[in-house]
Structure 1
Amino acid sequence: MSVDLPFVTKVFAALFAIMNPIANVPVFLSLTEGASDAVRRRVAGTAALGTTIGCLVSLVGGQAVLDAFGLSVDDFRLAGGLIVLTIALSMLQGSSSRAHGRNPGGKQDVIDVESVAIYPLTIPLLVGPGTIATLIVFGHTAESQGKWLDVAVGVGAFLVLLTAALLAAPWLGRHLSATATAITRRLMGMILAAVAMEMIVTSLRNLFPGLGH
C-alpha cells in the first residue's frame, strides 16, 4: 500500500502549526523552572506519552468522547482558552505557573513539577481544542477515504519530533542565562495570551453567532 506523501505532509504540517514544538520548549522550561534535569526528562517523557495517547483518542474517538459528555469542541476551546490565559498572565508577570509550587523551605515540590506534564503541558497546551478538532477532521477523512496509514505516518512523524524537542529542553535550559530565560518567559507569555484570546474569541463567535456582527 503506497503512502500519499502530500497528505502525510499536510497532517504533519497541521500538527506542527498547532502544537509547535519550538514555541513550547520555552513554555516547558518555565513550567519546570527549578527542577533537576532528571525530573525535567521525566516530565518530557510523561508529556510525550500523554500527548500520544491524547492524539490517538482524539483521532479515533474524539467526537464520541465530547458527545458522551454533551460537549462541543467550542465548549472545550473556551475552557482551554481561559486556562491558557491564566498561565500566560503568570508568565508575563515573571512568576512561575501556579500549576506547580514551592514548599515552605523554598525547595520545589517534585510531585507538583511532574504533575505539569499532564496539566497544563499536555492538556490544554499540546492536546488542546485545536489539536482535537484537527484530529477529528483527519479521522473522518481517514475513515471515508481509507487514509488511515497516511494519517498514522503523519501523526507518528510529528510525535517523534515533539518527543525529541521535549527531551532536548533540559539541555537548552542549562545553556540559557537567567536573563534569556526571563525574556523568553515573558515573550512566550505574550504569545500564549494571544493564542488564548484567539481560542476564547473563536469559541464565543461559534457559540453566539450574533457576536460576529
Structure 2
Amino acid sequence: MEFDLAFATKVFAALFAIMNPFANVPVFLSLTEGTSDGIQRRVAFTASLGTVIGCLVSALAGKLILTLFDTDVNDFRLAGGLLILLIAITMLQGSDSHVHARTPKEKVEDLDPASVAIYPLTVPLLVGPGTIATLIVFGETARTQDRITELAFGMGAFLVLLAATLLSAPFLGRHLPPEAVAITRRLMGMILAALGVEMIVTSLRIAFPGLSS
C-alpha cells in the first residue's frame, strides 16, 4: 500500500497542537528554574522518555484498555473530540487549558526539579487526556485502515521534535519572545479545534448513519 503522507502529517499536526513544545518551553524553564544545566537536561530526557512511553501505550493498547472498561472506540472518539475542542477554545482565548493544567504557582516552588519530569511535565502537561484520546483514535484508525507505518512516522517525527525542544529549552528561553509563544498557541488552537470538530462529526455519522446522507 502506498504511504499516506496526509495521515502521517495529520498525526504530527495533532500532537504538535495538543502538546505544543514551543509554548511549553516557559513552563519547563519555570519548573527547573535555579537548577544546573545537567539537571535540566536530565529532566528533559526523562520527560521525553515518559512521553514516548505514554504515547505508545495510548496508541497501541488504547483499544484494549477501552475494552476492559466496556467502552466503544466511537464513544471515546466523541468524548475525545469534545475534550480536544474545549482545550482548543482555551488556547484560542490565550489561557491554559484546565484539562492540560499547569501546576499552581504556589506549589511550583515546593517541587524537586528532578521530580517534575514525570509530574507535572509528562503527566498531565504533555500526556494529558487530550493526547491520550487523540492517540487512541489514531491508533484504531491506523489498525483498521492499515496505516501503522504512517502512524509511527508521524508520532516518531513529533517525539523527536519534542525531545529536541525540551533539551534546547534553556537556549530557546533566552531567544523566544512571549509574543511568538502567544501567536503559536492561538494558531495551534485553530488546528486543534478543526481536529476536534472532525472527530465529533465522524463519531456522530457512525452513531447516526442517516446523517451521512
Normalized against structure 1, the TM-score is what?
Answer: 0.64
In structure 1, which of residues 132, 138, 145 is the aligned counterpart of residue 136 of structure 2? 132
Cα root mean square deviation, aligned: 4.3
Change (3 A) 1:118 1:179: same
The amino acid across from 1:181 in the alignment is V
Q: Verify the 8 A CA contact 1:74 1:206 in the aligned structure 2.
A: yes
Normalized against structure 2, the TM-score is what?
Answer: 0.64
CA distance in 1, matches of 2:171, 2:196: 28
Q: Verify the 8 A CA contact 2:17 2:191 in the aligned structure 1.
A: no
Structure-2 residue corresponding to 1:3: none
| Residue pairs, 1:1-213, within 5 angstroms | 15-20=11-16, 24-29=20-25, 34-36=30-32, 44-45=44-45, 47-58=47-58, 60-98=60-98, 99-103=101-105, 114-115=119-120, 117-129=122-134, 131-136=135-140, 158=157, 159-213=159-213
- Alignment partner of 1:26: what SS? coil
Q: What displacement does 1:25 show?
A: 1.8
The amino acid across from 1:24 in the alignment is N
Change (3 A) 1:41 1:10: farther
Change (3 A) 1:156 1:212: closer
Structure 1, gaps ≥5 residues long: 1-5, 143-147
Q: 1:47-104: per-residue Cα shift (whole Å, max 9, x none)? A: 5334332344345533222211111222222222222222222222222333125346
Q: Verify the 8 A CA contact 1:85 1:193 in the aligned structure 2.
A: yes
Fraction of identical pairs, as percent: 43
Q: 1:127-178: per-residue Cα shift (whole Å, max 9, x none)? A: 433x334434656899xxxxx9x89x85895444543344334533431112
Q: What displacement does 1:112 show?
A: 9.0
Change (3 A) 1:194 1:44: farther
CA distance in 2, matches of 1:124, 1:205: 23
How many residues end up aligned between the 2 structures?
202
Q: Verify the 8 A CA contact 1:19 1:126 in the aligned structure 2.
A: yes
- Alignment partner of 2:102: what SS? coil
